Structure 1
């Protein structure tokens, strides 16, 4: 089976993927909007950090696009928002960090709006993943967690994808049984790398309603710098 790829940020993504995959995209995990009053009801004191769990996100959360948050913050590019997010969680420091952007982001995060899923594939992508994995006639998907050496096959259903995502470690790879499509979470980030054997990846991304950046020959995993 295909192995998880730890991307070298010195090389373009397309130079590091197996030769059978002709295209790649960076999927932006949506922000999470919880119902009005949810955060206040959950918080025991004003200093407690609250974040919805996977089940709460699926039951009550709504996806908010990066473009909408960019508009609220006055950011011009997805890269600026990525820099703000990664600086605020401590993933970027020193010369790479952008505290100015992080401060703007914090000032524009309203009550009930939460950061996207960090390190993990977003729950909001599950329904579209079912469609993608089934589109080539596959009836099973393969999952692999290289850090904890856990892997296996599951029938392609939303429930099974939910279980895998809920239990997964920070690094996770998902692929249909035919390995036509691959998704990989990326540590210390709010993105998922999507690989496809089909060259028409832009058409597929648009059909699935994903907010994404299509990789070209110069796109690195540190695309935001």
Structure 2
């Protein structure tokens, strides 16, 4: 049987929940990091989406590349200017807001995009998305995949997911999942582990929940049996739980992705020969 929270807290290992180690190091096998807490981890893709009954299609991505001219109009607090070795991206105000996504968005799976493009697999999709926001070193960028992706999604009026945060559509899945499992007391933590709070989602509507927790990066149930966690610049997040519970969550709430094996790391989308 899996260890309970009480079993874990009395061992000599550091407790990842209390020492703010809620995401593994990049080169560390993901399952190794969570060993002793969860026996199964699922890499879940942040979905693309369309906005129903909308006549306007604005920015395909929430991140906008800033030109030299646009840079000069940014607030003075921005200290780094664009140059040949550095691109600067900012949030695009034309991207749909949370209210529009909650009320009108329809999810589009990665596989649906792959099926209609020359993008071959999930790893290439991750590379295309990360390249689109300037999140890769030059040697890893795949501008060919980025251009294929942007052309296809623009033609179909499909919006890209945001990076580095569990997006609204995934939060909606999380809300339904945890309520159905009667795990309504949730701990949420920001990226710097400075803002940590306990909320009762049983007392919240879906819209209230999304408004309350959007922007946080780490979410776990009070009994520490389910963890949702993400990393900066990623278009995927991790769901951690006991295998049987996780299998139920993935199947019932239709998260798209794959289960980690013993060797899966954060950089699963990079060819092993390219890793530094």
TM-score by length of 1: 0.86
Structure 1 unaligned blocks of 5 or more? 41-46
Please say if residues 130 and 136 of structure 2, whose CA atoms lie closer than 8 Å, have aligned partners that are also in contact: yes
Instruction: Compute the displacement of 1:9 (Å).
Output: 1.7
Task: Please say if 1:164 is aligned against 2:212.
Answer: yes
Deviations 1:15-68 (A, max 9, x none): 11251211101110110212442226xxxxxx9872111111112221111011
Q: Equivalent of 2:41, from 11, 24, 46?
A: 24
Report which of the two structures shows the higher radius of gyration computed on alpha carbons: 2
Task: Please say if 1:219 is aligned against 2:267.
Answer: no
Query: Aligned equivalents of 1:204 and 1:153: distance in 2?
Result: 22
Who is 1:94 aligned against?
A: 138
Q: Equivalent of 2:251, from 183, 206, 209?
A: 206
Instruction: Compute the displacement of 1:151 (Å).
Output: 1.0
Query: Aligned equivalents of 2:186 and 2:249: distance in 1?
Result: 18
Structure 2 unaligned blocks of 5 or more? 1-14, 59-69, 71-91, 271-276
Structure 1 residues 117 and 4: alpha-carbon distance in aligned structure 2, compared to 1, 3 A threshold = farther
| Residue range with higher mean Cα deviation, 81-90 or 199-208 | 199-208
Structure 1 residues 136 and 61: alpha-carbon distance in aligned structure 2, compared to 1, 3 A threshold = closer
Q: Equivalent of 1:77, from 112, 121, 128?
A: 121
- Trace 1:30-179 onto structure 2 (pairs within 5 A): 30-35=47-52, 36-39=54-57, 50-110=94-154, 112-147=157-192, 149-156=194-201, 157=204, 158-166=206-214, 168-169=215-216, 172-179=217-224
Who is 1:44 aligned against?
A: none
Please say if residues 27 and 193 of structure 1, whose CA atoms lie closer than 8 Å, have aligned partners that are also in contact: yes
| Count of residue pairs the alignment pairs up | 216
TM-score by length of 2: 0.71
SS in 1 for 2:149: helix
Instruction: Compute the displacement of 1:177 (Å).
Output: 1.3
Query: Aligned equivalents of 1:26 and 1:8: distance in 2?
Result: 15
